[in-house]
A and B are shown apart, each in its own frame.
Chain A
Amino acid sequence: MQDLLYFSQQLINGLTIGSAYALIAIGYTMVYGIIGMINFAHGEIYMIGAYTALIAITGLTTLGIAWLPLVLVVALVCAILVSSSMGWAVERVAYRPVRGRHRLIPLISAIGMSIFLQNYMQLAQGSRNIGFPLLIEGGFNFGSEGAFQMSLSYMQITIFVTTLVCMTVLSTFISRSRTGRACRAVSQDLGMANLLGIDTNRIISATFIIGAALAAVAGLLLGMYYGSVDPLFGFIAGLKAFTAAVLGGIGSIPGAMLGGLILGIAESMTSGYLSGEYKDVISFSLLILILLFKPTGLLGKPEVEKI
């Protein structure tokens, strides 16, 4: 019984982290699906989302507004607004001029952008980490008193539910709306979509905006969950989310969700049963193994090398 409770606890923790990873991974996978580049600065967009949410929450508290739903909604809207604008601007400034050049050039440009954004935040808000208020407290406890208790906090439930809502909205948007249809067309064949009258530049901008908005949601959620933010906190999270995207099959949106969940569970199991220090090693090893044995990921389409 104890073992089962411990195992379920790890599973819940893993699913929580994993669903947040999935939210970030969407940004990687959509951009890769459409223009075939790794948006290295995506982790930083997520970090900016977390910071903006914190700024909004602190601002509201200073003004004396403490009604929880209002605070959360305002923080979410601010984070999405700033992150999406940043995503749009980054694409415009750093990626559009180098699009279509040799593969390495956009990637190096993206690495430069990532370093730039990290230091932008560091200059503006300092390099130390800042505490993030835990707005949603409490939760359910399972198991007998005095022994190991499994806990499921309201925060974790919020993360699941928000992720689920975001994913549903995104799937509907991609499969039903006009822009979503154009997104799919552009990811299949950019040149052809252009010929058929789709404004591909607008669609690419839209992809960056959607990815950044989801990253901002993840920023708010994970910022609250971890309880602190610092300018470098986007880097590792971005790397993990990229791993999740590759794991599920890059370019595939359901794949990103699946990959995020698997990665989250693998990580929490490692820290639960082995050691917390090695969880990053496990996720990067997982990435290397996946790329070696199934480079297309779990749900990805095989890529045919055209001659």
Chain B
Amino acid sequence: MAASNVRHALFCAIVTLVISYPILGLNLEAEGINIVLTGTDTTTVVAIACAALVVLLFQLFRDSLMGKLGAVSNLNPLTGRKPMEQKERAKLESWVLTGLVVVALFWPFFSSRGAVDLATLVLIYVILALGLNVVVGLAGLLDLGYVAFYAVGAYTFALLSQYYGVSFWMALPLGALLAGLFGLLLGFPVLRLRGDYLAIVTLGFGEIIRILLNNWTNVTGGPNGIGGIPDPTLFGMEFGRRVKEEGNTSFHETFGIAYSGEHKVIFLYLIALVLAIITALIIRRLMKMPVGRAWEALREDEIAARSLGLSRTAVKLSAFTIGAFFAGFAGTLFASKQGFISPESFVFLESAIILAIVVLGGMGSQIGVILAAIAVTILPELAREFSEYRMLIFGAAMVLMMIWRPQGLVPMRRLHITLKTQE
């Protein structure tokens, strides 16, 4: 153990103390108009000391520890496994997906209302994440203002229904198209920018949209938001107890069944499910089409792709617009599910969560993104007592994923053809 190693370890331990003790160990408490400083409980202090000790020991024995950790991966029986044949994989995948869809179609009828409601939210996140996956995962454009397009979709529906009485089914394509148009308009000038500038510009755009929604009080209602957004109807049948709009009938009367609030929840869930499946299928198709290949080519090597005749702006713009389009889709759905929207729902953190879903699932991988959307939305609900740690764990998970597994939990697999060696 060299002396420099010991010095470094001590230094790291001291830094750990310096960055944790003043913040965690001393609490600012407001007493009337005065603020007083109180020491925290012993457990926290002990925990801080333990953390420093762990850092010290880890830095001291870092080399030998890391060597042993490297050997651990050899114990994993799956390491040396050959990847499955492409054909078999595709077959297995399609069977699993069909099974999942069938289960997803029927389970809400045997489940509680809260669970179905949560599942609808999960599906909205699935649509959002699939859309962002096109922009970030496939085209490699970091969009930090994705939530702006989500807001455009939601507010389009809310405003149209409030001022012109437009129904959900009319607003769904309109909201998505308008969000796509916003994507096109924003994308056109900014897509020339390099990666990280693009990230900041989209972030700025997202903030601009939110501030406008917040302050344009006489149209958007400002921070109070818009309420009374109508529910979707099924061929003119409403799901409320009483019919609100003339010319409509109500669902339970038409079918002669007792009124139940669950009908509406399940109906919304089924709409979300169908939309999510449509989104996944369209994007799956696009990925295999020339435009999808172009996205990936441009992401991998911009100069090579351009020298092969791809138009940088057109390719990036298509990805950006399509991503925005699906965000608008999800936004309309969200507005209808909540019945009330306000700028509160469209803050930067929401963009970060959707980005985290894409990153955790594996950029570009559809299955991964869907699984991550389910996990990220459901886990906090299951562990409610840890809810205050949710975002803390989120941030840490993003960092750790980037360090250890930047390709995500279920990395994307390319379609590929291997040449048989001739004998």
Contact = CB atoms under 8 A, between A and B. Distances in A.
A284 B402 CA distance: 28
B327 to A, nearest CB: 19
Contacts of A123: 388-389, 392
Given A115-B352, A123-B388, A85 B205 contact: no
Interface stretch (A4-12, A96-104, A150-158, A167-175): A96-104
B114 to A, nearest CB: 26
B395 A115 contact: yes
Contacts of B389: 119, 123
Please indicate which of the listed interface residues B15, B16, B205, B212 has the most CB atoms of chain A within 10 Å of its own CB.
B15
Nearest to A81: B18
A82 interface: yes
Contacts of A118: 391, 395
Given A37-B196, A58-B36, A115-B395, A281 B402 contact: no
A82 B18 contact: yes
B211 A281 contact: yes
Nearest to A229: B28
Interface string A103-136: 1111111011111111111011100001101000
Given A54-B28, A98-B402, A115-B394, A287 B18 contact: no
B197 A104 contact: no
Nearest to A117: B395
Contacts of B277: none
A88 B11 CA distance: 11
Interface string B8-31: 000000011011001110111010
Nearest to B198: A291
A246 B199 CA distance: 13
Nearest to B359: A108
A124 B23 contact: yes
A288 B201 contact: yes
A106 B395 CA distance: 13
Contacts of B193: 291, 295
Interface string A260-294: 00000000000000010110110011011001100
A239 B403 CA distance: 25
Given A38-B196, A54-B28, A284 B403 contact: no
Nearest to B396: A116
B204 A284 contact: yes
A62 B27 CA distance: 13
B282 to A, nearest CB: 24
Nearest to B304: A307
Nearest to B11: A88
Contacts of A113: 395, 399
A119 B395 contact: yes
Contacts of A54: 28, 35
Nearest to A305: B303
Contacts of B26: 55, 59
B351 to A, nearest CB: 9
Contacts of A97: 403
Nearest to B392: A119
Nearest to A292: B189
Chain A contact-residue range equals: 35 or more
B406 interface: yes
B224 interface: no
Contacts of A243: 204
Contact of A287 (B16, B30, B201, B391): B201
A86 interface: yes
A93 interface: yes
Contacts of B395: 112-119
A76 B33 CA distance: 24
B142 A104 contact: yes
A116 B393 CA distance: 7
A130 B24 CA distance: 16
A192 interface: no
A240 B418 CA distance: 51
B392 A116 contact: yes
Interface string B197-241: 101110111011001101100000000000000000000000000
Contacts of A287: 200-201, 204
A94 interface: yes
Contacts of A116: 392, 394-396, 399
Interface in B55-89: none
B23 A120 contact: yes
B99 interface: no
B23 A38 contact: no
Contact of A120 (B30, B144, B195, B392): B392
Given A85-B15, A98-B403, A307-B303, A38 B208 contact: no
Interface string B177-204: 0000000000001100101110111011
Contacts of A52: 22-23
Nearest to A287: B204
Contacts of B208: 280-281, 284-285
Given A55-B37, A287-B200, A111 B355 contact: yes
Nearest to B136: A104
Contacts of B402: 94, 98, 105-106, 108-109, 112
Contacts of B136: 104
Interface in B366-413: 388-389, 391-392, 394-399, 401-403, 406
B406 A105 contact: yes
A242 interface: yes
A48 B214 CA distance: 28
B215 A131 contact: no
B348 interface: yes
A51 B403 CA distance: 29
Interface string B123-155: 000000000000010001010100000000000
Interface string B347-367: 011001001100100000000
A229 to B, nearest CB: 9
A284 B205 contact: yes
Contacts of B359: 108
Contacts of B211: 277-278, 280-281
22 contacts: A38-B199, A51-B23, A55-B22, A85-B18, A94-B399, A94-B403, A97-B403, A98-B406, A102-B406, A107-B142, A109-B399, A112-B396, A112-B402, A115-B349, A119-B392, A119-B395, A125-B27, A125-B28, A287-B204, A291-B193, A292-B189, A292-B190
Given A94-B402, A295-B197, 10 more contacts: A54-B35, A55-B23, A58-B37, A59-B26, A82-B18, A103-B195, A115-B395, A116-B392, A280-B208, A284-B208
